[in-house]
Structure 1
Amino acid sequence: MSFLLHCLEWYILSVFTLSRIGFGRLDELFKNSFAWRVEIVNLSCNSFSGVLPSSLGNMSYLTILDLHGNSFTGEVPSELGNLAQLEYLDVSGNMLDGEIPDDVCGLTNLLFLNLAENKLQGPIPKTGICRNLTKASVSGNKHLCGVIMGSKCSFGRKSPLLNVWGLASVVVGTILITLSVVIVLTIWANRNSRNDPEDIVDSKLNSSDPNLYLLSSSRSKEPLSINIAMFEQPLLKLTLVDILEATNNFCKANIIGDGGFGTVYKATLPDGKVVAVKKLSQAKTQGQREFLAEMETLGKVKHRNLVSLLGYCSYGEEKVLVYEYMANGSVDHWLRNRTGTLDVLNWTKRFKIAVGAARGLAFLHHGFIPHIIHRDIKASNILLNEEFEPKVADFGLARLISACETHVSTDIAGTFGYIPPEYGQSWKSTTRGDVYSFGVILLELLTGKEPTGPDFKDIEGGNLVGWVFFKVKNGCAVDVLDPMILDADSKQMMLQTLQIAVVCLSENPANRPTMLHVLKFLKGIQDE
């Protein structure tokens, strides 16, 4: 248990917290911060004032810095750009001014940045994490400008004389444009009066009900197609006809997955691109308006360890999502297949899956606003690409499906064997519930066993978690490790990973680490 004690010792000694009791200035407190080995600083919701000391940039071990809800003034120190390990930075709710430092935006490990409710000004940098900031993370800064703020940036101040000339130019330009529009409309009206009546009918048809396109065999009327919404990058423009052809009318032979949210089909688009099409369960989907709103949110969530949503199509009561296709299927498929048709996942690949899935979940919990709770973390929702890089699937679907429902149904809010024990009392899902479910996945990777089933019928604990805890408590931790992959090289790493899983599976949610901490623990094993 030495590694677990080391983790817990790190968790306690590396945290510097003042909650609602601090006041005054920070200058003296962090004067010699280069000598500190602190990894987490939480000074939020206090009465600190004055400028942020540049010496904060010397805290090279810092991963989380939370200063929101104080009265700090002055600029955001560019020296914070020296914090190469920083993953979380919140300075919202202060009185900071000046521009957003490019050095801070360029921090490669930064997953979360909140600058809201300050007096910041100037253009929002287009580097690093600042390229993907949401409006909520910069709201309240009236003098910031850029695409996120919905305003263009003007550089420098013009003299009064230039302003007069500028105003005159606007007036003259307006007059010229107005005259041009009048001339063009006159010419167009004269031509239109001589048009063939059939042309006018065709024009009206092209602007009529989009469903008319579905009755036509011609694909030339592109404006009548049902287009998938475009997000950060141009998405696939698919029609209902395209989707039906790609899935062979949702043929059962193309089904590659079936769960609580709907059925997944392997599909080939007209251009030859292979995708996964999820047809959501009709009885559970929201109305059109709520569905489109959720898609606008989920479509912007991009990360190397999250399955990319390529687009969606909504027609009547039917809702269809289009995802990237994952060639190696789910982790569940590889762990459950013991017949020899698939190679056994060795420990190197299993540990890679654990780290990648943790990274994806950490991004959902801490790197995106609004934060996303998955609510259905399980082995079948961890998918693998050609290089066995894991990607978390179905994130946000629980909220998408049940935004108008309470979080009571186990069909919606989790899968038996992965549901945390507190769920029965609170009926509410939290990020710590996701951490518990991730702990179960770690046990699956370590043991090769599924969370529930006949294997545990006559065994102490009644399920995978109970059995593992019984073995660990009795000093037989090695007995739970999958004998098909256990060897002298993997044994130590597997035992250390087991200790992390045990912490994730604490009955008290408050005792579970965050996914940021879980990711750090796993990386600590990897770097040894």
Structure 2
Amino acid sequence: MLNLVGLYVQKNRLSGDIHNLFSNSVSWKIEDLNLSNNIFYGSLPQSLGNLSYLMYLDLHGNKFTGAIPSEIGNLMQLEYFDVSGNRLSGQIPEEVCSLFSLFYLNLEENRLGGPVPRNGICQNLSKIFLAGNNDLCGRITGLECQIRSSERSSLLNAWGLAGIVAASVFIIFASAFVVRRWIMRSGQLSDPEEIEESKLNNFLDQNLCFLSSSSRSKEPLSINIATFEQPLLKLTLGDILEGTHHFCKTNIIGDGGFGTVYKAKLPSGKTVAVKKLSQAKTQGNREFIAEMETLGKVKHQNLVPLLGYCSLGEEKLLVYEYMINGSLDLWLRNRSGALDVLDWSKRFKIAVGAAQGLAFLHHGFIPHIIHRDIKASNILLSEDFEAKVADFGLARLISACETHVSTDIAGTFGYIPPEYGQSGRSTTKGDVFSFGVILLELVTGKEPTGPEFKEIEGGNLVGWVTKKIKKGQAADVLDPVVMSVDSKQMMLQVLSIAAVCLAENPANRPTMLQVLKLLKGIHKE
């Protein structure tokens, strides 16, 4: 099955060795693999390292033995790796710890031993994820690593060699110092302060690249996972009807592909937003409630909180926190002219906030959530213009449990990535493309589509900007309303990030974690 992208067989009674499963793994395109809570045994095959598309690998709760293959360190896109509750032994491979994209690693309840690596994710790994491995040692475990007798003799020999080297270095430096003093007295060398300055400059020239690459490009990016402390509100239809004045048209504050949004006041006095889902699109009651309980656990400061839901027959309603500043679309278009201009500092704050919310959906929650309809009207703004992604998970609600949705093409014209028309598959990289369009809107102030874009200029915002960049006229697309001497360079950098997000080939687009890091890198500068 060469086009298989997700294999979920967890919580069964499957048993046996899994080497044959990966005999042809080089040609696999699988992204999510969950074999957890079965009775698989034997060693983990080295061929796991051939699954170059793999992002999610869950093998916990089996009877695997042997070492963790260092070849897993070849999986450059791996984000989630769980082998807890097995019988694995040997040391933790440093290659696995150093995976750049890896944000979750669980090794608890195995028979692993030796020092815990001090690189990558392992340098700050929680003690919980190492529990039950009694032979592990190092700073995280609190146990000092014992040196064996053979290692001790090697160490003594090393110290002896180091002593000889140190003595030699001392003699060389002493000799150099004597020669330097003699030359200076001879008047053949310039001012000592100039010499020291020259040495410092040489040192910086040799080490600056190392310092910048180690302190910036490898900076770990963490996203915390949190869940609602209280269960969702189980509201009655009467509460909703009263709060929306029986879904009166004057209470409508938004209308989209998934349904209509109304402003409502609950009996408690709290103002909320109620989305009335389109009846033709929703599933049965059981699936709806199961999906709501999942979405209720997804909590992040840059996601619009789901407060509750109501399901009665065909009527299905979602209750969200009310965002007083409305949507990004409302502020960018400002069709009535009643709103202030959204200045660049606010626009950049919105870009970073929306990236954080979307990165959390893609990387901080299992199973991953693909939004499928990222657009300006789904980026809502709080009182202090903190961006919050709305309508997340509704694509899952319409097409539950599908990693790649191959039914009708979801999304809004102008934001839909080119591959959707060819394959009909929704992926996280499709969301990245749509986010790239959002960045273009923030930088240019223009809508994704419209009569102003002639066919010869690309026919839409993406095509117009792409042609301008190719002609070396990138600065011409910047919104003159907010561009200034201070903001121009920053806007051009955001434009360059947008261009990478809009790559025609999805494989050439960054992940949302990488996009977020690029945006934060601009902020630091």
Give the gaps of 5 or more residues in structure 2. 1-47, 53-65, 142-218
Q: 1:424 aligns with which of 421, 439, 443?
A: 421
Q: How many residues align?
A: 376
Aligned to 1:351: 348
- Relative distance call for 1:259 and 1:248 in structure 2 (3 A) is same
Aligned to 2:167: none
Distance 2:140 2:388 in 1: 29
- The C-alpha deviation readout for 1:98-132, integer Å capped at 9, x for no partner, is 5999979xx99533xxxxxxxxxxxxxxxx75x76
Q: 1:463 aligns with which of 455, 460, 469?
A: 460
The answer (yes or no) to whether the contact 1:75–1:96 under 8 Å persists in 2 is no
The answer (yes or no) to whether the contact 1:84–1:109 under 8 Å persists in 2 is no
Aligned to 1:438: 435
**2:406 equivalent to 1:391:** no
What amino acid is aligned across from residue 252 of structure 1 in structure 2?
Answer: K
The answer (yes or no) to whether the contact 1:76–1:98 under 8 Å persists in 2 is no
- Relative distance call for 1:341 and 1:97 in structure 2 (3 A) is same
Q: 2:245 aligns with which of 248, 259, 278?
A: 248
Aligned to 2:92: 52
Distance 1:108 1:334 in 2: 34
Displacement of 1:271 in angstroms is 1.7
Moved more, 445-454 or 458-467: 458-467
Aligned to 2:222: 110
The answer (yes or no) to whether the contact 1:468–1:480 under 8 Å persists in 2 is yes
**2:49 equivalent to 1:19:** yes
- Relative distance call for 1:355 and 1:77 in structure 2 (3 A) is farther
Displacement of 1:340 in angstroms is 2.9
Distance 2:80 2:394 in 1: 34
Displacement of 1:338 in angstroms is 5.0
Aligned to 1:501: 498
Displacement of 1:408 in angstroms is 3.2
Distance 2:470 2:361 in 1: 33
Aligned to 2:407: 408
**2:476 equivalent to 1:479:** yes
Displacement of 1:497 in angstroms is 0.6
Aligned to 2:284: 287
Displacement of 1:343 in angstroms is 0.7
**Structure 1 segment 97-246 matched on structure 2, within 5 A:** 97=133, 110-111=222-223, 129=225, 232-246=229-243
Aligned to 1:64: 102
Displacement of 1:72 in angstroms is 8.4
Is the partner of 1:250 in helix, strand or coil?
A: coil
**2:270 equivalent to 1:270:** no
The answer (yes or no) to whether the contact 1:40–1:65 under 8 Å persists in 2 is no
- Relative distance call for 1:44 and 1:457 in structure 2 (3 A) is same
The answer (yes or no) to whether the contact 1:19–1:43 under 8 Å persists in 2 is no
Give the gaps of 5 or more residues in structure 1. 1-17, 30-38, 112-127, 133-230
- Relative distance call for 1:98 and 1:280 in structure 2 (3 A) is farther
The answer (yes or no) to whether the contact 1:44–1:67 under 8 Å persists in 2 is yes
The answer (yes or no) to whether the contact 1:20–1:45 under 8 Å persists in 2 is no
- The C-alpha deviation readout for 1:460-480, integer Å capped at 9, x for no partner, is 100000000000000000000
- The C-alpha deviation readout for 1:6-46, integer Å capped at 9, x for no partner, is xxxxxxxxxxxx93499x989999xxxxxxxxx99999899
What amino acid is aligned across from residue 518 of structure 1 in structure 2?
Answer: V
- The C-alpha deviation readout for 1:328-372, integer Å capped at 9, x for no partner, is 000011001155311111111101111111111111001101110
- Relative distance call for 1:21 and 1:367 in structure 2 (3 A) is closer
Aligned to 1:453: 450
The answer (yes or no) to whether the contact 1:19–1:44 under 8 Å persists in 2 is no
- The C-alpha deviation readout for 1:295-344, integer Å capped at 9, x for no partner, is 11111100000000001000111000000000000001100115531111
Distance 2:408 2:114 in 1: 46
Distance 1:346 1:256 in 2: 24
The answer (yes or no) to whether the contact 1:256–1:264 under 8 Å persists in 2 is yes
Displacement of 1:482 in angstroms is 0.4
- Relative distance call for 1:447 and 1:274 in structure 2 (3 A) is same
Distance 1:99 1:391 in 2: 45
Is the partner of 2:480 in helix, strand or coil?
A: coil
The answer (yes or no) to whether the contact 2:111–2:134 under 8 Å persists in 1 is no
- The C-alpha deviation readout for 1:443-497, integer Å capped at 9, x for no partner, is 0000011111111135510000000000000000000010100110000010011
**2:374 equivalent to 1:336:** no
Is the partner of 1:340 in helix, strand or coil?
A: coil
What amino acid is aligned across from residue 19 of structure 1 in structure 2?
Answer: G
Distance 2:136 2:369 in 1: 26
Distance 1:348 1:76 in 2: 49
Distance 1:364 1:270 in 2: 32
Distance 2:342 2:485 in 1: 17
The answer (yes or no) to whether the contact 1:85–1:109 under 8 Å persists in 2 is no
Distance 1:520 1:415 in 2: 27
Is the partner of 1:462 in helix, strand or coil?
A: coil
Q: CA RMSD in A?
A: 4.3
Aligned to 1:527: 524
The answer (yes or no) to whether the contact 2:244–2:263 under 8 Å persists in 1 is yes
Q: 1:365 aligns with which of 362, 366, 376?
A: 362
Displacement of 1:95 in angstroms is 12
Relative to the length of structure 1, the TM-score reads 0.63
Relative to the length of structure 2, the TM-score reads 0.63
The answer (yes or no) to whether the contact 2:234–2:309 under 8 Å persists in 1 is no
Distance 1:496 1:371 in 2: 29
The answer (yes or no) to whether the contact 2:113–2:134 under 8 Å persists in 1 is yes
**2:104 equivalent to 1:74:** no
Displacement of 1:272 in angstroms is 1.2
Displacement of 1:399 in angstroms is 1.6
**2:381 equivalent to 1:381:** no
- Relative distance call for 1:99 and 1:371 in structure 2 (3 A) is farther
Aligned to 1:492: 489
What amino acid is aligned across from residue 49 of structure 2 in structure 1?
Answer: S
The answer (yes or no) to whether the contact 2:276–2:316 under 8 Å persists in 1 is yes
